[in-house]
Amino acid sequence: MDDTPGWDAIDAALRPLYGDVQPYHLGTVIKWALGGPDPLDGISVYARTEPVPHWHFVSYGMSELYGKESSDPDESGWGFEFTFRLVRDPADAEPPPWAANLLQNLARYVFSSGNWFEAGHHMNVNGPIAADREDSQIRAVAFVTDPELGEIATPHGRVEFLQVVGLAAEEYEALRQWDAASFLTAIAPHLPLFVTDIDRPSLLADPELARAVREGIARDGSSSGALFVNTAHWELDGAATTLRIGALQAEAIAQALRGRLPFGRTLLLQTEDTRMVFQPAGAYAVVETEDGRLDVSLPPEALDDVVAALRPVAGSTPVAALPGLTVEIVPTHMRDRYGNETGEVVG
């Protein structure tokens, strides 16, 4: 198309960094709007040598590249474009295809679900981010504003360059127990420009960094007020309540409760069709609201017993401190990144 003001604005933002260097460009044959499988119309990749050799991926397609279609004059499309920085072997002439597939998969999630990303958001991808590298510890992502590209104004509204940062599973658990911005600030000196290296071990192997993170968690608690989970259901029978939780997320929910309720904060468990809210209170109560949400009020003295019941083992555990409350853990059937059951069962 001849009229590409959004695309041109991205190119203009890249020019101060890369001048007239021609990137390695990956285009989409059949556009998403025409029924194609890939939401991004293109991905440009630049070879960098500083501060470490890496590939710099930049997407085209999360913002409005051509005409203005959305009703929001202040934001272009979803309001961001993806970037990704990946360690590069100086001998490599081309970037690895899996990295472009990762960005397309993230874009596909946004277009399909309607859930967008912002700086500070994070996601467990349920496997290595490099699909062909089962030995990689890098199995989650977080999002930061690209430290070099930032945010731009385009003819169709603002666009933030949102950088994908690969995290080890251990790092991701620590991030969820603390605060994404604080955790990413703590690891920034160890990841110049937040370049992802799928071959690295967890940064928390560094005793000093691990101690700083533990202290931050203890001091600040968790800023993650919502967890999107597969199973968070309930059954009410008079004075008896059964909370039904999936085994895969049981430990994460336990950690989140410890990081939220003692600090006076609530925790929302969200599934495709239910919402369950835990809130700190002086007395135990369970209330099903008119809009179908379950509110569970927990006094401080009951928290340890509730957390103890949230183990990734199938079965029912009465909560001793709260007569009438039972936590039931149900098995989780694992799925791959394409939504197909793998045959693996947790719990």
pLDDT one-digit tens code per residue, 100-154: 999 999 999 899 888 889 999 998 888 899 988 889 999 999 999 999 999 999 9
Q: Are 292 and 275 in contact (CB under 8 A)?
A: yes
Give start and end residues of each alpha helix (H) in the chain. 5-18, 97-113, 169-177, 180-187, 207-220, 247-260, 303-309
Question: DSSP assignment, residue 217?
Answer: H
pLDDT in the model for residue 346: 65
pTM: 0.81
Q: List Cβ neighbours of 309 (8 Å cut-off, separation of 6 or more).
A: 317, 319, 327, 329
At 213 the three-state DSSP class reads: helix
Q: State the first-to-last Cα distance of the chain, in angstroms, to the nearest integer.
A: 53
Nearest to 54 by CA among 141, 165, 145: 165
Structure tokens belonging to residue 314:
């199938």
Going by DSSP bridges, is the β-strand pair 332-335/157-168 parallel, antiparallel, or unpaired? unpaired
Peptide bond before residue 51 is cis, with ω within 30 degrees of 0: yes
Structure tokens belonging to residue 161:
């360059």
pLDDT in the model for residue 37: 81
pLDDT by residue, tens only, the chain of 347 residues = 458 999 999 999 999 999 999 999 988 767 776 677 889 999 999 999 999 999 999 999 999 999 998 899 999 999 999 999 999 999 998 999 999 999 999 999 899 888 889 999 998 888 899 988 889 999 999 999 999 999 999 999 999 999 999 999 999 999 988 989 999 999 999 999 999 999 999 999 999 999 999 999 999 988 888 888 888 999 999 889 999 999 888 988 998 899 899 999 999 998 888 999 999 999 999 999 989 899 999 999 999 999 999 999 999 999 999 999 999 999 876 555 555 555 565 65
Structure tokens belonging to residue 208:
């000093």
At 148 the three-state DSSP class reads: coil
pLDDT in the model for residue 2: 57
Q: List Cβ neighbours of 17 (8 Å cut-off, separation of 6 or more).
A: 46, 148, 149
Helices (H) and strands (E) in the chain, counts: 7, 19
**How crowded is the C-beta side of 24, counted as CA atoms within 13 Å?**
14
Tokens 């110049």 belong to which residue? 192
